[in-house]
Structure 1
Amino acid sequence: MQAKAKKIIFIGILIVGCIITSIISTDNKEKSLPIGSMLQSSQTAAVSKSVQKKTVRVQVSGAVLEPGIYDLPANCRVEEAISAAGGLTENADSERVNLVRKVRDGMQIRVPVKKAARTSRTQRKNAQATAGYSASSTKKVGSTRAGTEKNNSAVQRVRINSASASELQQLPGIGPALAQRIVETRNSGRFTSAEDLLRVPGIGKAKLAKLRDYVEVD
């Protein structure tokens, strides 16, 4: 009888132990759920923040062909921002711009004009204001315009299907970064017309209109 009673007591102790263990395990799982949920939410927020930083918006002004506001890759440099704005003008003072500086969101990139060009432009305006618009000045303007048209007609066209990246940079508004994009685009499919340049990231209708007289499809 004593042995049977001990056996019953032992079984009872085992059952109580199992019940207590099950209750403790359930509490631990319930406590761990909010922590896991918080970690997952934090990771989602980090990924979302990373996606938002893939592009930056900058303003490019001054001596560039197409001043304006542009959305660019987050890790790009000032040189690429200027290329997106059509490249430098003839009187741009590139020595006073850090072309390899990384851009940041909300940044304004202003390309200054060469000092000599600023001085010449001021002197020319003063001379016109003093002399007025005479017949001789009108003749001079007409002569200059004719000379410009003659120079434009004599411009050597660049073959966009075979030109190297350095040769493509001779085109107006085409910098190193944009020239490389033209090469990469034509490698995936040759250009059949000047309009195919619209396939190149960074070349829009306005830029194409400026390039049309300088390119040739070979």
Structure 2
Amino acid sequence: MQAKAKKLIFIAVLLTGCIITSLISTNDKEKALPGGSSLQSAQGAVTSKAAQAKTVRVQVSGAVLEPGIYDLPASCRVEEAIAAAGGLTENADSERVNLVRKVRDGMQIRVPAQKDARTSRTQRKNAQATAGYSASSTKKVGGTKAGSGRNSSMMQIVRINSASAGELQQLPGIGPALAQRIVETRNSGRFTSADDLLRVPGIGKAKLAKLRAYVEID
């Protein structure tokens, strides 16, 4: 009987130990879960921030085919941003843009147009506007030039729809820059009266009053 009682006591102690060990293990796991969850959340936040940092938003404008705002990889350069905007136009001046510069968030990339290209187009328009005119677009005018005291026999009537930029410079107060603007304005729509010269940037009512006697609509 004593041996049997000892055996029962041993089994009871063993079962009690197993139960206690199981409870301790469960508590340790439950304590570890909040910490593990926090670690996973922190890792997820870092991953999310890293993903956000991999893209930037930039504006591409100027001489590109499709100006606009683009989301690009943070590691890309200006030439890739321009490619995303459809590439350069025919008159883009790529020499004035640093194509290998890295882009940054909020950056504006503006591609300028070639000045030479604009000048060339203007010259072609001028040549077309004056082509076919065999007669001179200017003629002498008598009298005295108002406000100058100079003999206006040196002044000429200028046909403003056909005169070249050089001939327009014979008008009082018209220099090379203003003559060029007159030609450019004329190319966008012929003058129908002297008052149309007010469309030209730099010509106001006072200057128009001085020009009226020396211009002619043809």
Q: Normalising by structure 2, what TM-score?
A: 0.46
Q: Which has the higher contact order (CA 8 A, sep 6+)?
A: 1
- Bigger Rg, which one: 2
Bigger fraction of residues in helix:
1
